[in-house]
Amino acid sequence: MSQARLESIQQLRDALRAFAAERDWDQFHSPKNLSMALTVEAGELQEHFQWLSEQASSALAGEELAAVGAEMADVFIYLVRLADKLGVDLLQAAAAKLEVNGRRYPADKVRGSARKYREFKAE
């Protein structure tokens, strides 16, 4: 099987639609199941970092980095499939969330701090 070159989320969405249709898997791709599958894959991603030091987690290479990339792809695939099923425009949703986060976390108030929104809002 040749590796398709994907250049947009829409192309990935369409490839995933075709992949599921060819296997008659669409029947299993309810939003509930897709959200669960996404979480499972996120767990598989985390497994690669479990027990690593901060430093080691930033220094992955070779086969380990490739394996992490493959789990990231799994998460991305389920997220795109879920967005397709729910009619969510992921780029638009991300842009909207970025704007909300920009308002919630003004750079001049939070620079260099990892505190949550509620923690500095009360000050």
- Which stretches of the chain bind Mg ion, using CB under 5 A? 41, 44, 71, 74
Question: Helix or strand or coil: residue 104?
Answer: helix
| 84 closest CA partner among 21, 2, 40, 4 | 21
| 41 closest CA partner among 79, 4, 14, 11 | 79
Q: Which is nearer to Mg ion, 44 or 120 (CB)?
A: 44
Provide, rounded to whole angstroms, the least separation between the CB of residue 76 and Mg ion: 11
Question: What number of other Cβ atoms are within 10 A of residue 31's Cβ?
Answer: 13
Provide, rounded to whole angstroms, the least separation between the CB of residue 55 and Mg ion: 25
Q: Which is nearer to Mg ion, 44 or 60 (CB)?
A: 44
Residue nearest to Mg ion (CB): 74
Query: How many whole angstroms separate alpha carbon 16 and alpha carbon 20?
Result: 6
Query: How many whole angstroms separate alpha carbon 14 and alpha carbon 8?
Result: 10
Q: Which is nearer to Mg ion, 67 or 110 (CB)?
A: 67
Provide, rounded to whole angstroms, the least separation between the CB of residue 67 and Mg ion: 9
Question: What number of other Cβ atoms are within 10 A of residue 111's Cβ?
Answer: 8
Provide, rounded to whole angstroms, the least separation between the CB of residue 108 and Mg ion: 40
Q: Which is nearer to Mg ion, 72 or 110 (CB)?
A: 72
